[in-house]
Amino acid sequence: MEHDESYLTDTIVEIKRMVLVLVTLNERLKERVSELELEKKSWDVEKEEMQNQLQQLQEDYNILKLAKAVQGDGESSEAKMQISKLMREIDQCMVLIQNL
């Protein structure tokens, strides 16, 4: 009987120790998850900034390309194509605005 009580006591102590270890590990994991969530938010902001920058650079490039074509280096057909493309985009925007 005494042996059974000792065994049970030892088992309870071991279970308590294991629970404490698990609780500690759980807290560490929660902290790490929080750190990773903050890091992800930071990366998301940086990604959005880079996408905006890329879009702006693409727009600048298209403007420069159009300006060069209009400048008169003999490629008036390219300028006309660019202007037609811009007009189609403007028309699409106007349709979207009218549908609001």
Check residue 11 and report its DSSP letter: H
Instruction: Among 3-12, 29-38, 53-62, name the most confident range.
Output: 29-38
State how far Cα 69 lies from the chain centre.
36
Mean pLDDT estimate for the chain:
87
Q: How many domains does the chain have?
A: 1
For residues 28-52, give the mean pLDDT.
Answer: 95
- Quote the tokens at residue 76: 């008036």
Alpha helices per DSSP H over the chain: 2-70, 76-98
At residue 24, does pLDDT exceed 90? yes
pLDDT at 75 over 80: no
Structural domain range at position 55: 2-98
For position 27, what pLDDT does the model report?
98
The confidence score (pLDDT) of residue 71 equals 72
Please give the span between the terminal C-alpha atoms of the chain, in angstroms, as a whole number: 83
What is the pTM assigned to this prediction? 0.53
Question: In this predicted model, which residue has the larger pLDDT, 76 or 54?
Answer: 54
